[in-house]
Amino acid sequence: MTFRRGRRLTFTFEGSPLEAYEGETVAVALYAAGVSVLSWSSGLGRPRGLFCMIGKCSSCFMVVNGVPNVKTCREPVREGLAVERQRGWVPPADAAELGEVETRELETDLLVVGGGPAGLSAALEAAQQGLDVLVVDEHLRLGGQLLKQTHKFFGSVELFGGLRGFQIAGEYLKKLESNGRVRVLTQSAVYGAFRGGLVGVVGRDAHYVVKPRAVVGTPGASERYLDFANNDLPGVVGAGGVQTVMNELGVKPGERALVVGSGNVGLIISYQLLQAGVAVEAVVEILPEVGGWFVHAAKVRRYGIPILLRHTLKAVYGTEKVEEAEVVEVDEGFNPVPGSEKRFKVDLVLLAVGLEPDARLFAQCGAVMRWSPDLGGLVPLRTPGLETSVRNLYVAGDASGIEEATTAIIEGRVAALSAVSKLTEGSRAGRAAEEAERLNRFLWEEYRASPLLARARRGKQSVTVSEEEMEKVRALSPPPVSFG
């Protein structure tokens, strides 16, 4: 891996100057400088370090230029920025102090919420089919979790197989940039949808009110947490959070790590830690078999990383940062086996214990939701064309149920093509509908036919209903919001 660093700059942390590189976020710049405590919790005043690094948790809230509760994982570091730790909850700054923010009105055919694999593919497909597209993403740049995937992806040549995740993002960005129909708002968050089919966006330098004809929601997922003693200690980090620090911004995250969870995320991050020169003590898995693909397990095993099946994390220890982790064996009922504790001297504990779909946008719009353990949590009910019970609101990617980037890319295209078939007329609409059906046939009958994907397939089946069925659902639970 090579990292192109931006120019050097200086910002202040609690009054002292610190160096950073342009293009880094405040949270990563601080981490690189050895700052592990970003804030103290309200109430007990416990130290808090970074966790998710993608704007989904509140672990990195700090005071930036006097403004409290700033997500520093999403805040670009800049020359002269003043950053301070905050103690507990600080009320938001007074609106009058912050000054007026301009409101701009935007119209678009298709609003894409989230610029990860599903959002990128939806945006490109829709733009190529002649729709005007607006992509809104919270991060500094588009690409979502692809930006930090340094391993080569499975698939066929058409599905970007053999390319590394960040290269797939690069391919999409090139095509989107050269397509005049796509507008992009980065560092911008959709905060809600309103009657009249309006969507509010907090932008980098303005407040936007967007009137889309259709919306593809691809907000992704957040990392799950695990219950163990001192689980809030800095150094307990989401696996994806470490990927941001290490693979996206090129900062070595620690010296010795323990990885909890042997799904593909846990196995891949273990291999990547080793590539970055971090010693991986073990991968801990509570189940009696490896969670991820065998080939990913084989990759870590041949470099000597043990996978401890039927083990879980009992506790971590340290004063302001993880210094030691304690692992314990579990019995058939997942109860700890007394006396089986093992201790590891580590400064990093990575949680790779699954993802939870981000349901907020859909729930707020009043879409009918379903709980699916197979898919990781709450997801919107949808048609085969991925339309939710809110008319012209589509779902794709991890928010539709946890799978992986390749299926997210396919779903993004299905959602975009469904929107195209409804928003356009004549032969274009017909061709889009046919192409969506072809992709769906491939996804359901070929891709998900692998026995190892049976769980995701079952989950997705359980939350997909026919168009006719969806009309009945709409009649029973009319959504408060609709688009178009």
Partner 1 sequence: MEVPPYRRTGIVELGELARLGLLPPERRLRRGPVAVLECPEMIPCNICVPYCPTKSIRMERLIDLPAVDWETCTGCGMCVAVCPGLAAFVVDLSKEDYDYVTVPHEFLPVPRVGDEVVLLSRRGERVGRGTVIRVWERNRTHVVTVRVPKGLGMEVRAVWVER
> Angle at the Cα of 414 (from 188 to 156), degrees rounded to 5?
100
Q: Is 307 in the site for partner 1 (CB under 8 A)?
A: yes
| Least distance CB 97 / partner 1 (angstroms) | 49
By beta-carbon proximity to partner 1, the closer residue of 309 and 473 is: 309
Q: Is 166 in the site for partner 1 (CB under 8 A)?
A: no
Please pick, from the candidates 140, 189, 226, 309, the single residue that binds partner 1 as defined by CB under 8 A.
Answer: 309
By beta-carbon proximity to partner 1, the closer residue of 275 and 462 is: 275
Q: Is 293 in the site for partner 1 (CB under 8 A)?
A: yes
CA distance 71 to 90: 13
| Least distance CB 241 / partner 1 (angstroms) | 22
> Mask of contacts with partner 1, 217-256, x by CB under 8 A?
----------------------------------------
| Least distance CB 373 / partner 1 (angstroms) | 19
Q: Which structure tokens are listed for 228?
A: 């163990």
Please pick, from the candidates 44, 95, 96, 157, the single residue that binds partner 1 as defined by CB under 8 A.
Answer: 157
Q: Is 1 in the site for partner 1 (CB under 8 A)?
A: yes
Q: Which structure tokens are listed for 1?
A: 């891996």
Q: Is 299 in the site for partner 1 (CB under 8 A)?
A: yes
Q: Is 331 in the site for partner 1 (CB under 8 A)?
A: no
By beta-carbon proximity to partner 1, the closer residue of 135 and 307 is: 307
| Least distance CB 149 / partner 1 (angstroms) | 11
Q: In this chain, which stretch among 10-18, 60-68, 104-112, 150-158 interacts with partner 1, using CB under 8 A?
A: 150-158
Q: Is 340 in the site for partner 1 (CB under 8 A)?
A: no
According to the 3-state scheme, what is the secondary structure of the chain? CCCCCCCEEEEEECCEEEEEECCCEHHHHHHHCCCCCCEECCCCCCEECCCCCCCCCCCCEEEECCEEEEECCCCECCCCCEEECEECCCCCCCHHHHCCCCEEEEEEEEEEECCCHHHHHHHHHHHHCCCCEEEECCCCCCCHHHHHCCCECCCCCCCCCCCEHHHHHHHHHHHHHCCCCEEEECCCEEEEEECCCEEEEECCCCEEEEEEEEEEECCCEEECCCCCECCCCCCEEEHHHHHHHHHHCCCCCCCEEEEECCCHHHHHHHHHHHHCCCEEEEEECCCCCCCCCHHHHHHHHCCCCCEECCEEEEEEECCCCCCEEEEEEECCCCCECCCCCEEECCCEEEECCCEEECCHHHHHCCCCEEEEHHHCEEEECECCCCECCCCCEEECHHHHCCCCHHHHHHHHHHHHHHHHHHHCCHHHHHHHHHHHHHHHHHHHHHHHHCHHHHHHHHHHHHCECCHHHHHHHHHHCCCCCCCC
Q: Is 406 in the site for partner 1 (CB under 8 A)?
A: yes
Query: Do residues 93 and 67 lie in contact, with contact meaning Cβ atoms separated by under 8 Å?
Result: yes
Q: Is 279 in the site for partner 1 (CB under 8 A)?
A: no
Q: Is 447 in the site for partner 1 (CB under 8 A)?
A: yes
By beta-carbon proximity to partner 1, the closer residue of 184 and 259 is: 259
| Least distance CB 389 / partner 1 (angstroms) | 30
| Least distance CB 309 / partner 1 (angstroms) | 6
By beta-carbon proximity to partner 1, the closer residue of 201 and 251 is: 251
Q: In this chain, which stretch among 9-17, 31-39, 48-56, 154-162 interacts with partner 1, using CB under 8 A?
A: 154-162
Phi, psi for residue 124 in degrees, rounded to 5: -65, -45
CA distance 20 to 352: 29
Please pick, from the candidates 451, 468, 475, 476, the single residue that binds partner 1 as defined by CB under 8 A.
Answer: 451
Please pick, from the candidates 9, 242, 258, 300, the single residue that binds partner 1 as defined by CB under 8 A.
Answer: 300
Instruction: Find residue 265's DSSP bridge partners.
Output: none
How many residues form the binding site for partner 1 (CB under 8 A)? 41
| Least distance CB 36 / partner 1 (angstroms) | 26
Q: Is 156 in the site for partner 1 (CB under 8 A)?
A: yes
Please pick, from the candidates 161, 430, 478, 480, the single residue that binds partner 1 as defined by CB under 8 A.
Answer: 161
| Least distance CB 220 / partner 1 (angstroms) | 21
Q: Is 140 in the site for partner 1 (CB under 8 A)?
A: no
Q: Is 308 in the site for partner 1 (CB under 8 A)?
A: no
Q: Is 297 in the site for partner 1 (CB under 8 A)?
A: yes
- Kindly list the residues in this chain that would bind partner 1 in the complex (CB under 8 A): 1, 151-157, 161-164, 167, 274-275, 288-290, 293-305, 307, 309, 406, 446-447, 449-453
